[in-house]
Amino acid sequence: MAGGGADDGGSYSLVTGSVYVFNLIVGAGALALPDAFSQAGYIGGTVLLFILAMASAITSSFMIEAMSLSNALAKSRGMVQDDDTNSDKAPLLKGNINETADDDKDALFRITHRPLSEMAFLAGAFFTPLGEKVFYAVIAIYLYGDLCIYAVAVPKSLRSVFCPLSDGNATEYLDTFGNGYSTHSNHSEICFLGLTHEKSYYAFLVIFALALGPFCYFSMTKTKWLQIFTTVMRYVTFLMLISLAVVGIIHPDPFVKPTNEDHPPKFKDITVFNLHGMTIMFGVSVYAFMCQHSLPSLLTPISNQRNLPRMVFIVFILVAFFYYALIYSAILRFPAKTLTDPNYDVYTLVFADYPVRFCSVFLQLFPVFVLSTNFPIISITLRNNLITLGRKIRGIPPGQVLQSKTAMLIERLLVPTLAIGPPILVAFFTTEVEVLISFTGSYAGVGIQYVIPTMAVYSARRVARGELGNDSTKANPFKSVFYHDVWIFISLFWSAACVIIVTYNHITQAK
């Protein structure tokens, strides 16, 4: 049986892979951080964001280790074969891992088979039957929820820029979830391609589906230029947000309408620590470093994986640096009254009335750049997990090349359609997704980001020690820096704490 390699779509460099991971982590949710941070205080917010970054980095390293162990076990069993792995050697690796040459050891543990690395396969291979069922429920809820959010938010963001509601100075704004609100109530004004404000949403939805939907039918490598383009847009946007804030600190020039009371605050007036604000920030930023679900699709095609764990850790540091730069420039430039104003819960909206029109429009389009990049990644991740589930139901081993044309058509056409079709339909029939966001993000997200990677690496180590020898997990070049078992318990404890704190946050906000 031959197994598909990097999604059977070619490979890319370590640098390109790091760009993909960075793009996935930095979502539009980053724009809600300044508001939450100003409420938590600069001491409490700084510490909490660091803890969240470390927690996600730990479980990401768990995910990478579990992926490598899954590939190694399959190769040692003769289930798959790489061009650089001699299948005749594979049985000799059992119980003799310390006597194996470094090159063979790297080839054994290298993450070369994407189907063997997906969360769905890890759950099937290492979880109990009940655990596997829970996994599929969690992954479906989370990924479908994400795709629904993107399918609604992008058309709304485009509409707010190219077809805003306005009567004089009144302007439509978008909240965190892409929901528009305005003081103007006339939705029949012609504004885009002869369409009204309300109908323009559907035009943008069709454009969104036609432009990004086809990516789900191909491999992750086909999104390379889209990823590079949006990466440039992200860097430009962050630098613009930070630069405009710094300029405003040095040369105060109020522009936020209608009050123009956005003078930089005195440092003594900035909140230092607020416990209630900490819970609010936790609810906003607990998934600011989410990427674990798509690591198999993003990392498998990387050709040189020798420094893979280090690269992922560096990406987390880079993302944290951007978050801190964005947040501190914001709280030093704008008073808490402005940042916590419901009209500006997305940071880019603070610049909606910026005197330089280009900057204003460009910053309002930032959510479009971010979500448009993430939509193909999330849809491909969902498609791959659905394929794994389908193969398991039909009894087809992961990585096996399909001989039936009907089976190939199902996986190449039907399954991708099942991945992107429902979210597009949801976006067509409703634009109210707040409840969906709060459920999928708060609870399913804990499972995807923390619980599943932790349990996967714990179970994979037990199986690998039994089949490859007790020292096999220590010899794994992709093992987590946080290898000691104590980190397993810390991660699970943190997962439980996340559920409790987020639930408390939902209850207090509902009152």
Mean pLDDT across the chain, nearest whole number?
82
**CA distances from residue 106 to 97, 100, 305, 458 in whole angstroms, order as listed:** 11, 10, 9, 21
Residue 147 burial (CB count, 10 A): 25
CA distance 377 to 460: 26
pLDDT at 252 over 90: no
129 preceded by a cis bond (ω within 30 of 0)? no
Decide if 107 contacts 122 (C-beta within 8 A): no
pLDDT at 179 over 70: no
pLDDT for position 111: 94
Tens of pLDDT, residue by residue over 6-60, are: 344 578 899 989 988 988 888 767 888 898 899 899 999 999 999 999 999 999 9
Cα 408–Cα 411–Cα 415 angle in degrees, nearest 5: 150
Percent of the chain with pLDDT over 90: 36
Residue 395 structure tokens: 């009894």
pLDDT for position 492: 96
Decide if 154 contacts 142 (C-beta within 8 A): no
Q: What contacts 413, CB < 8 A, 6 or more positions away?
A: 217
Decide if 365 contacts 357 (C-beta within 8 A): no
Highest mean pLDDT among 67-71, 194-198, 223-227, 362-366: 67-71
pLDDT at 418 over 90: yes
Helix H or strand E encompassing 443: none
Q: Which residue has the higher pLDDT, 469 or 443?
A: 469
Q: Does residue 83 sit in helix, strand or coil?
A: coil
CA distance 439 to 451: 17
Categorize the per-residue pLDDT at 404 as very low, low, confident or very high, splitting at 50, 70 and 90.
confident
Residue 352 burial (CB count, 10 A): 22
pLDDT for position 320: 93
pLDDT for position 85: 45
Decide if 295 contacts 63 (C-beta within 8 A): yes
Decide if 39 contacts 251 (C-beta within 8 A): no
| DSSP 8-state assignment for residue 190 | E
Q: Which residue has the higher pLDDT, 56 or 288?
A: 56
pLDDT at 322 over 70: yes
Tens of pLDDT, residue by residue over 118-177, are: 998 999 999 999 999 899 888 888 889 889 888 988 888 888 788 876 544 444 544 444
pLDDT at 187 over 70: no
Q: Which residue has the higher pLDDT, 284 or 329?
A: 329
DSSP per residue, 463-507: HHHHHH-TTHHHH-TT--SS-STHHHHHHHHHHHHHHHHHHHHHH
400: Cα separation from own chain's centroid:
29
pLDDT at 373 over 90: no
Helix H or strand E encompassing 195: strand 195-196
φ, ψ of residue 181 to 5 degrees: the values are -150, 150
CA distance 316 to 243: 22
Q: Does residue 432 sit in helix, strand or coil?
A: coil
Decide if 475 contacts 105 (C-beta within 8 A): yes
- The residue among 323, 345, 428, 376 whose CA lies nearest residue 56 is 323
**CA distances from residue 308 to 54, 60, 111, 458 in whole angstroms, order as listed:** 17, 11, 10, 20
The pTM assigned to this predicted structure is: 0.81
Q: Mean pLDDT across the stretch 276-284?
A: 81
Cα 502–Cα 374–Cα 181 angle in degrees, nearest 5: 65
pLDDT for position 285: 81
Alpha-carbon dihedral of residues 478, 482, 488, 493, nearest 10 degrees?
A: -140
Helix H or strand E encompassing 260: none
- Range with lowest mean pLDDT among 136-145, 367-376, 417-426, 477-486: 367-376
Q: Mean pLDDT across the stretch 365-380?
A: 84
Tens of pLDDT, residue by residue over 190-221, are: 676 777 878 888 999 999 999 999 989 987 77
Alpha-carbon dihedral of residues 20, 22, 25, 28, nearest 10 degrees?
A: -100
pLDDT for position 66: 97
pLDDT for position 347: 86
Decide if 437 contacts 32 (C-beta within 8 A): no
CA distance 339 to 347: 7
pLDDT for position 402: 73
Q: Does residue 192 sit in helix, strand or coil?
A: strand
The number of helix segments (H) and strand segments (E) in the chain equals 21, 4
Beta-strand pair 173-174/190-192: unpaired
Q: Which residue has the higher pLDDT, 473 or 81?
A: 473
Highest mean pLDDT among 277-291, 293-307, 359-373, 440-454: 293-307
Residue 205 structure tokens: 């939805």
pLDDT at 422 over 90: yes
pLDDT for position 464: 95
pLDDT for position 267: 85
Decide if 40 contacts 280 (C-beta within 8 A): yes
Q: Mean pLDDT across the stretch 90-96?
A: 45
DSSP per residue, 361-378: HHHHTHHHHHHHHHHHHH
Q: Does residue 89 sit in helix, strand or coil?
A: coil
- Range with lowest mean pLDDT among 78-92, 328-342, 381-395: 78-92
Sign of CA dihedral 440, 441, 446, 448: positive
